[in-house]
């Protein structure tokens, strides 16, 4: 596996093109992909690993090449070819990275654990980055083709998740695994990263539980059950929120699995268990909010613009979590009317998301009309929640408009594709109702629920699966599949 060693004396790059692309990766790509929060993974560990591992070096160069071509307005980003003069350099580097993984140096039969996991992350970034870059170029130039690779990106994330699950099984069987100190990228850092990506997949696809086990304490600040009186850093507050929320989601997923695959029907015992869990986590989140507000009171006046944006993102996600905890897990899936009383929270979410976008544009005027790309989940998922759960026509359209007008890729979430999904759902629900002035104008029998998305691994298409009565006289919600192509 990757070892912490001094810089090698041999030349690691094949030519000047590789060398300058890697410099671009360190100077420009990493600064953007790390998002609003300090990241030792992106700022230090990935460049170090890429400098020592050929597979990660080539994957980093491929990602940087794609990024640089987009910033220069290179139209060849829309093409799929191997001509270096027409953008094929990124694809060549991507293929080199794959070959290095298949045939590791030193005669090893398989690549090191941390090499494989970091490669999964970089490959996923490459796939989704092609999507957001081409989507913006196409929108601006009325083209009709889009190289969307969400399915492939999700597949890479799934592969990394499976590696960690196998490691967890091995740890239980053998009573331990290689120490993180022996790895260039610590295992606990990778666990936190893939836990967040696993959560993104659950939110995006809507049809499966989180795969990685939750509730296991981690050395990262805040990634444990304890909540202090006041958080010491934004990172600690964010990690704590993620830890507690993922733990609650796992309990919900376990309960729903028990009902649907073991016992077949929901009972009062299940509802009581859900009420107990929600009461427990509401108390935890109240304690979390107090600790977070204390942190903001002490630090907000000294935060830079990037940290302020991160603080707004954390607050936004906390608002969304608190809203979900007010409703039972069964209402979420089967009662689309339950969200109408959450209008004030939807308004706060939209306002906070708008503040994040405005602050980012004010910091960098060149950012206008250019997409944001980062691995962390920030505003797309919450705006998706508003767009398909809030039936207020003004807020709904404002959220969809923000997804279109501020193009961004956040991990596996693409704002343009999310906007198209939400717009399609809105049209289906409002069609034939006349003028919709408020949420009450969208009756229950028109409302869609239990939305699931499935991306094709190869083609530029996806399926939106949902439950929909379709008719005022229908007593049951029937599964419907709607195809979205881009």
Lowest mean pLDDT among 126-140, 154-168, 470-484: 126-140
pLDDT tier at 108 (50, 70, 90 boundaries)?
low
**Given this model, what pLDDT does residue 180 score?**
45
**Given this model, what pLDDT does residue 10 score?**
44
pLDDT tier at 437 (50, 70, 90 boundaries)?
very high
Range picked from 6-15, 69-78, 106-115, 470-479 for highest mean pLDDT? 106-115
User: Is the predicted pLDDT of residue 176 greater than 70, yes or no?
Assistant: no
Lowest mean pLDDT among 211-225, 232-246, 312-326: 211-225
pLDDT tier at 347 (50, 70, 90 boundaries)?
very high
302-319 tens-digit pLDDT: 999 999 999 999 999 999
Mean pLDDT across the chain: 80
C-alpha distances in Å from residue 315, one per residue of 173, 257, 306, 423: 40, 30, 14, 26
Q: State the average pLDDT over residues 439-447.
A: 92
**Given this model, what pLDDT does residue 169 score?**
63
Asked if 169 contacts 181 with a C-beta cutoff of 8 angstroms, the reply is: no
127-150 tens-digit pLDDT: 876 555 444 444 444 333 234 466
Asked if 386 contacts 396 with a C-beta cutoff of 8 angstroms, the reply is: yes
pLDDT tier at 8 (50, 70, 90 boundaries)?
very low
- Sign of the torsion formed by the C-alpha atoms of 359, 196, 44 and 16: negative
Q: State the average pLDDT over residues 313-326.
A: 94
pLDDT tier at 7 (50, 70, 90 boundaries)?
very low
Q: How far apart are CA 104 and CA 160, in angstroms?
A: 18
pLDDT tier at 345 (50, 70, 90 boundaries)?
very high
User: Is the predicted pLDDT of residue 411 greater than 60, yes or no?
Assistant: yes
Q: Whole-model pTM?
A: 0.84
Asked if 282 contacts 325 with a C-beta cutoff of 8 angstroms, the reply is: yes
């Amino acid at each position: 596996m990757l070892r912490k060693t001094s810089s090698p004396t041999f030349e690691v790059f094949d030519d000047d093109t590789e060398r300058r692309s890697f410099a671009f990766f360190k100077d420009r790509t990493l600064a953007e992909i790390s998002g609003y929060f300090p990241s030792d993974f992106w700022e230090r560990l990935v460049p170090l690993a890429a400098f020592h591992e050929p597979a990660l070096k080539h994957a980093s160069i491929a990602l940087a090449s794609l990024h640089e071509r987009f910033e220069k307005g290179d139209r060849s980003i829309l093409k799929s070819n191997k001509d270096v003069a027409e953008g094929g350099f990124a694809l060549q580097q991507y293929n080199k990275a794959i070959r290095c993984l298949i045939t590791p140096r030193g005669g090893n039969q398989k690549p090191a654990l941390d090499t494989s996991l970091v490669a999964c992350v970089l490959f996923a970034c490459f796939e989704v980055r092609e999507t957001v870059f081409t989507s913006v170029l196409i929108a601006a130039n009325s083209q009709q083709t889009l190289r969307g690779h969400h399915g492939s990106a999700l597949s890479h994330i799934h592969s990394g998740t499976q590696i960690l699950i196998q490691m967890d099984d091995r740890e239980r069987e053998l009573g331990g695994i290689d120490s993180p100190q022996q790895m260039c990228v610590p295992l606990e850092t990778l666990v936190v990263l893939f836990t967040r990506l696993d959560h993104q997949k659950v939110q995006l696809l809507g049809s499966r539980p989180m795969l990685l086990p939750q509730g296991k304490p981690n050395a990262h600040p805040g990634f444990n059950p304890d909540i202090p009186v006041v958080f010491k850093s934004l990172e600690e507050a964010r990690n704590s929120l993620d830890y507690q929320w993922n733990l609650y989601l796992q309990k919900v997923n376990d309960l729903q699995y028990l009902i649907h695959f073991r016992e077949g029907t929901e009972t009062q015992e299940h509802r009581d268990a859900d009420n107990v869990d929600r009461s427990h986590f509401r108390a935890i989140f109240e304690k979390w909010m107090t600790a977070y507000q204390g942190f903001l009171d002490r630090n907000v006046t000294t935060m830079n613009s990037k940290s302020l944006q991160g603080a707004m993102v954390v607050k936004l996600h906390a608002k969304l979590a608190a809203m979900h905890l007010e409703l039972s897990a069964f209402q979420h899936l089967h009662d689309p009317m339950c969200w109408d009383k959450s209008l004030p929270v939807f308004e706060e979410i939209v306002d906070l998301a708008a503040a994040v976008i405005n602050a980012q544009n004010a910091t960098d005027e060149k950012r206008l009309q250019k997409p944001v790309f980062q691995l962390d989940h920030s505003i797309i998922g919450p705006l998706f929640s508003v767009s398909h759960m809030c039936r207020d026509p003004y807020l709904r359209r404002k959220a969809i408009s923000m997804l279109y007008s501020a193009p961004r890729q956040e991990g596996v979430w693409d704002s343009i594709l999310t906007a198209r999904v939400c717009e399609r759902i809105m049209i289906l629900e409002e069609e034939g109702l006349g003028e919709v002035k408020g949420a009450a104008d969208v009756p229950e029998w028109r409302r869609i629920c239990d939305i699931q998305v499935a991306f094709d691994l190869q083609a530029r298409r996806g399926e939106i699966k949902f439950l929909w009565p379709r008719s005022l006289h229908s007593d049951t919600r029937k599964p419907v599949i709607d195809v979205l192509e881009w």
